[in-house]
Amino acid sequence: MRISGRLALALLLALALTGSAQAGLRAVYFDASKSRQLIIEVADNGDARIGEADSSDYGLLIDGKFLVVGDQQGKPMVARIEDIGAAIDRVVPPIFHDMLRDPSSAGLPKRLQASAAGEQTVGGRKGRVYHISGFAGDDPAKAMDYVISTDPALAPVGHALEQFMNAALVPAAVLMGSAIPELLGETREIFALGTPIDISGRFRLDHVETIDIPAARFALPAALTPVDALVEGMKAEARDNAHR
C-alpha cells in the first residue's frame, strides 16, 4: 500500500453520505511560510473532512471513525486507520497493537509538562498559552509554546486534527518503530488540553467560517480496504522496492 501526500499524512470508515448540503464550519490552518494550507470541514453532526488544499489525500471522520483516503496504484483507496495499523503489525514486529483503535489502551505514562501563561487570540479564537516540555528526544527542559482553545465549537476540529496527526505517523511506523507509541502518547496529552490553534508559530489557525458543506464531501470514493488486502499491498510494495 502506498499513500502519497505533501503533508505527512494518512487517514479512514463508514457509509457514503447522500443528500443536500448541511450546515457546518471550515477551519483553515497555515504553516509558518503560508505555503501549506490545511482545511478542516466539520458538519453539524460532527462528521469531518481534513486534508491539505489541492491534495488528493485526505481524512474522513465519520460516525467517530477515522478513515484514510489515498491512492493505490492509480485507484482511490479507503481504509480505517486501525486497519492500516493492524496490517503494519502483520508485516513487521507489532508496533500499534490497539493504539489506533483505542488510544487510551497504550497505557503510556504522562510525561509532558504544561504550564499555562495567559491568553492569546489566534485566527479570531481565544486560547490559553501553554509552555509544554518533556518531548521525546528533546532536552527535558526545552519548551514549545502552544495556544490551545477550549471553545466547544472547535472541539470537532480538534478531534479531526488529532486523528489526522496520528494518521501522519502511520507511514513512518516501519522506520520509527518503538518511537511511535511515545509520539501517539504525546499527541493524546496535548489534545487533552483542547484544540491547538498555534503550535509554536509553525502551524496556526488562520480563520474559522460558517459554511454549507455538500454531503458529497463526506462520501467514500471507494469501498473499505480489508486488512488482508492492505497486508498484500504492503508486501507487494516492499518487493517492488527491493528490486529497484
Report yes or no on 16 lying in a domain.
no
Burial of 221 (0-12, 13-18, 19+ CB in 10 A): middle
* Alpha-carbon span 235 to 16, nearest angstrom: 29
Contact present, 67 and 13 (Cβ < 8 Å): yes
Q: Is residue 217 part of a domain?
A: yes
pLDDT band at 9 (very low <50, low <70, confident <90, very high): very low
Q: Give me the CATH number covering residue 178.
A: 2.50.20
Question: φ, ψ for residue 109 (rounded to 5)?
Answer: -70, 150
Tell whether 11 is covered by a domain: no
Is 6 a member of any domain? no
- 3 state SS of 22: strand
The angle formed by the CA atoms of residues 225, 14 and 213, to the nearest 5 degrees, is 120
Is 233 within a domain?
A: yes
Query: What pLDDT shows up at residue 4?
Result: 40
pLDDT of residue 86: 87
Domain that holds residue 193: 22-242
* Any domain includes 15: no
Task: Tell me the per-residue pLDDT of 174-225, one tens digit each, with 9 for 90 and over.
Answer: 666 667 778 888 888 999 999 999 998 899 999 999 999 998 999 999 999 9
pLDDT greater than 60 at residue 12? no
Q: Given pLDDT bands bounded at 50, 70 and 90, which one contains residue 7?
A: very low
Query: Rounded to an integer, what distance in angstroms lies between the CA atom of residue 99 and that of residue 58?
Result: 21
More confident residue, 240 or 118: 118
Average pLDDT of the residues of the chain: 82
Report yes or no on 8 lying in a domain. Answer: no
Domains contained in the chain, number: 1
* Residue 3 falls inside a structural domain: no
The answer to whether residue 238 scores a pLDDT higher than 90 is: no
Question: What's the pLDDT tens digit per position in 72-113?
Answer: 777 889 999 989 888 888 887 776 666 676 655 555 667 889
Q: Is the model's pLDDT at 8 over the cut of 60?
A: no
- Whether the pTM exceeds 0.85: the reply is no
211 DSSP β-pair partners: 24
Residue 144 has phi, psi (to 5 degrees) of -110, 145
